[in-house]
Structure 1
């Protein structure tokens, strides 16, 4: 299970990096903020 969690974390970090590079669009910036909130455990703040 830990290996799966590491894979998900790695995938999400890659996705966040890609979004950060393209975050000049407001919608992408909101998506990035939501994903960061989910990763940090602040699900309520991600909405």
Structure 2
């Protein structure tokens, strides 16, 4: 395999790893956002 092909393959593997890691974190991020929005809604209803 040529060096350029190897570099492209490695970059693809890194992208795959990052996407998997990002997708694993999404539920956690969404939960934090929901909690924040619920807090905001409570504050708005108080006023």
Structure with higher RCO (Cα < 8 A, 6+ apart): 1
Larger C-alpha radius of gyration, 1 or 2? 2
Report the TM-score range of the alignment, normalised by the length of the smaller protein. 0.3 to 0.5
TM-score by length of 2: 0.47
More helix by share: 2
TM-score by length of 1: 0.47
